[in-house]
Amino acid sequence: MTRLQDVYPDNRVILREVGLRDGLQLVKTFPSTAAKQRWIREEYAAGVRHFEVGSFLPAKTFPQFVDVREIIQTVGALPGAYGIALTLNERGVNEALASGVAEVATVVSATEEHSQANANRTRESAIANVKRLCELRDASEHKPIINAAVSMALGCSIVGAVDPVEVLRITEKLFEAGVDMVAIADTVGFAGPKQVGELTAGAVKIAGNKPICIHLHDTRGMGIANASAALDAGARVLDGSLGGLGGCPFAPGATGNVVFEDLAFLCESKGFKTGIDIEKLVAVRSILKSEMPGEALYGGMARAGLPRGTAAKAA
């Protein structure tokens, strides 16, 4: 059984590397299993402990995650490291529960329109599926953490603006359904820091002593500013991907998640210890460059390095 307080201690900031799942969603070439393992091990050596490693979706559609079980094992073998796998249906849930992964992630759309278009189901039906997932978790051997993301929570690719009251209502229902944590996702990078700060504050209040994860995309250059606002509003779990790997099918040319190494610098600059050695983290980009030479990598830390006089290593 995975204990929430061990994986997400509430007295510090946790940064999660989601490049191995979200970052690989749209890339043109896939890293080999061995390269993924090097990526994980080298980030682990740099201090990273939370890795979204893949999804239990049909390998025919998502061949980049065909090795998800092996990657879960890779992370599981590292002391104090936690793997996260995405599931969207009951078959996937059962496979995820059987895999021994520390955390199972799933998704509910913030808007009815996106829920219907993307998953062909209502939001209420999606929340009912999350409840079923929590029941299966309770009956499982490993009892992983269940993390439900609210996608399009800060703007929807179909309807545009999203009512924060709706997002908070869904957040509340997800906790009632039995999830351990909720992720607030700016899936298409619509938001600015004011909006992110306000929604984060509301979600953190609802969550009480459970974690709220903030999952941001840097589509319009607001990623780090939004992360800063989320931290100010009380979020302590944030997602990023090394080099901002990834993209969005709804915004051609858009970058992926917030740049992980810049996110670490942001946190350290605000006095939040991440446990991450930023220079070591930046060095891991070489794996991505050699495995996926066609992908653009972003980020200021990689260009400029730590400022003079900055301690290279976090406490």
Q: State the catalytic residues.
A: 248
Q: Which helix (H) or strand (E) holds 37?
A: helix 33-45
Q: Which of 161, 205, 249, 289 binds a copy of itself (CB under 8 A)?
A: 161
Burial class of 234 by CB neighbour count within 10 A (0 to 12, 13 to 18, 19+): middle
Using rule CB under 8 A, residue 219 touches a copy of itself: yes
Return d(Cα 93, Cα 49) in angstroms, integer: 23
Using rule CB under 8 A, residue 255 touches a copy of itself: yes
Which residues ranging from 184 to 203 are in contact with a copy of itself (CB under 8 A)? 188-195
In three-state secondary structure terms, 186 is: strand
Q: How many residues of this chain interact with a copy of itself, rule: CB under 8 A?
A: 48
Tell me which stretch binds a copy of itself (CB under 8 A): 3-11, 83-91, 95-103, 260-268: 260-268
Return d(Cα 274, Cα 251) in angstroms, integer: 31
Using rule CB under 8 A, residue 303 touches a copy of itself: yes
Q: How many CA atoms lie within 13 A of 167 on its CB side?
A: 28
- Provide, rounded to whole angstroms, the least separation between the CB of residue 53 and a copy of itself: 25
Using rule CB under 8 A, residue 299 touches a copy of itself: yes
Tell me which stretch binds a copy of itself (CB under 8 A): 39-47, 91-99, 222-230, 286-294: 222-230
Q: Which of 109, 228, 257, 274 binds a copy of itself (CB under 8 A)?
A: 228
Torsion 27-33-36-38 (CA) sign: negative
How do strand 237-240 and strand 103-109 relate by DSSP bridges?
Answer: unpaired
Q: Which of 102, 108, 177, 301 binds a copy of itself (CB under 8 A)?
A: 301
Using rule CB under 8 A, residue 312 touches a copy of itself: no
- Provide, rounded to whole angstroms, the least separation between the CB of residue 254 and a copy of itself: 4
Tell me which stretch binds a copy of itself (CB under 8 A): 13-21, 41-49, 218-226, 280-288: 218-226
Whether residue 168 contacts residue 202, with contact meaning beta carbons closer than 8 Å, is answered with yes
Q: Which of 222, 233, 237, 238 binds a copy of itself (CB under 8 A)?
A: 222
- Provide, rounded to whole angstroms, the least separation between the CB of residue 143 and a copy of itself: 38
Beta-carbon contacts of residue 104 (< 8 Å; ≥ 6 apart) = 84, 85, 87, 93, 96, 97, 133, 137, 144, 145, 146, 147
Using rule CB under 8 A, residue 308 touches a copy of itself: yes
Return d(Cα 33, Cα 24) in angstroms, integer: 13
- Provide, rounded to whole angstroms, the least separation between the CB of residue 198 and a copy of itself: 11
Tell me which stretch binds a copy of itself (CB under 8 A): 17-25, 60-68, 81-89, 154-162: 154-162
Using rule CB under 8 A, residue 178 touches a copy of itself: no
Cβ closest to a copy of itself, residue 29 vs residue 269? 269
Beta-carbon contacts of residue 272 (< 8 Å; ≥ 6 apart) = 12, 13, 231
Please give the structure tokens belonging to residue 135. 């029941």
Cβ closest to a copy of itself, residue 75 vs residue 267? 267
- Provide, rounded to whole angstroms, the least separation between the CB of residue 196 and a copy of itself: 9
DSSP 266-288: HHHHTT------HHHHHHTHHHH
Query: Cβ atoms within 10 A of the Cβ of 198, count?
Result: 14
List residues near a copy of itself by CB under 8 A.
155-161, 188-195, 218-222, 224-225, 227-229, 248, 251, 253-255, 259, 262, 265-266, 268-271, 299-301, 303-305, 307-310
